[in-house]
Chains A and B, each alone.
Chain A
């Protein structure tokens, strides 16, 4: 149980285009999802916290107009990188707070590698 999927697993795009990444909790309802960014050989940095039906809460230094987060249902959150530039190239990981019986644990998706040319 507690499986989180991400799609796509990797994407290459041209500078200036927008890219959408989906995060789904497959076998549980996730009222809260999180988006992280990870640079090579570094730790995970929290970008934003996403609660179903409300606006995301962004960490300091994260541009909310550039990284649009939508959490329209209990099983789906999306991250859209708008007008992507090469410096946005990174590994993006989502996680979902566990279901009713397991709310204290986060389960992670497999990540999405974004390369902006």
Chain B
């Protein structure tokens, strides 16, 4: 079974600064997808960014970007110019391309943004 590890239970960043959330995963597959989801206090899960394993280029969505290191099985999320609204739980998730579409989530990182 694939496992997703988020080693940082909590992180803090000042407004306008940059923060990186780490995620590692374990898989024997070569084709898969990786996601970062945000869960604010409302508890609505929001897709932040996704990465296809076959793509070498790191995904970017506005202030959010990833550092995808396939060989190292690492998938970190960088948030630039942090805003107060970025405060939330962030979950890294893995999906195997060949065996269903269910997501395997990490335990999450709680991000605090200070003024």
Q: Which of B42, B52, B103 has the most CB of A within 10 A?
A: B103
Check A67 for interface membership: any CB of B closer than 8 A.
no
B96 smallest CB distance to A (angstroms): 11
| A contacts with B, residue count (CB < 8 A) | 20
Check A107 for interface membership: any CB of B closer than 8 A.
yes
Residues A105 and B44 in contact in the complex (CB < 8 Å), given A32-B101, A43-B108, A46-B103: no
Asked if residues B101 and A106 are in contact (CB atoms below 8 Å), the reply is: yes
A16 smallest CB distance to B (angstroms): 27
Check A42 for interface membership: any CB of B closer than 8 A.
yes
Check A25 for interface membership: any CB of B closer than 8 A.
no
Quick one: which of A99-117 are within 8 Å of B by CB?
A: 103-108, 110-111
Q: Which chain A residues lie closer than 8 Å to B45 at the CB level?
A: 44, 93, 95, 108
Residues A44 and B105 in contact in the complex (CB < 8 Å), given A49-B100, A104-B33, A110-B42: yes
Select from chain A the residue with minimum beta-carbon distance to B108. A43
Query: Number of contacts between A and B (CB, 8 Å)?
Result: 50
Query: Complex formed: what's the CA distance from A91 to B43 in Å?
Result: 9
Check A24 for interface membership: any CB of B closer than 8 A.
no
Query: Complex formed: what's the CA distance from A93 to B103 in Å?
Result: 13
A6 smallest CB distance to B (angstroms): 10
Q: Which chain B residues lie closer than 8 Å to A111 at the CB level?
A: 43-44
Query: Complex formed: what's the CA distance from A105 to B95 in Å?
Result: 10
Query: Complex formed: what's the CA distance from A95 to B95 in Å?
Result: 14
Asked if residues A34 and B102 are in contact (CB atoms below 8 Å), the reply is: yes
Q: Which chain A residues lie closer than 8 Å to B43 at the CB level?
A: 38, 91, 93, 110-111
Select from chain B the residue with minimum beta-carbon distance to A33. B101
Q: Which residues of A contact B (CB under 8 A)?
A: 32, 34, 38, 42-44, 46, 49, 91, 93, 95, 97, 103-108, 110-111
Q: Which residues of B contact A (CB under 8 A)?
A: 33, 35, 37, 42-47, 50, 52, 91, 95, 100-108
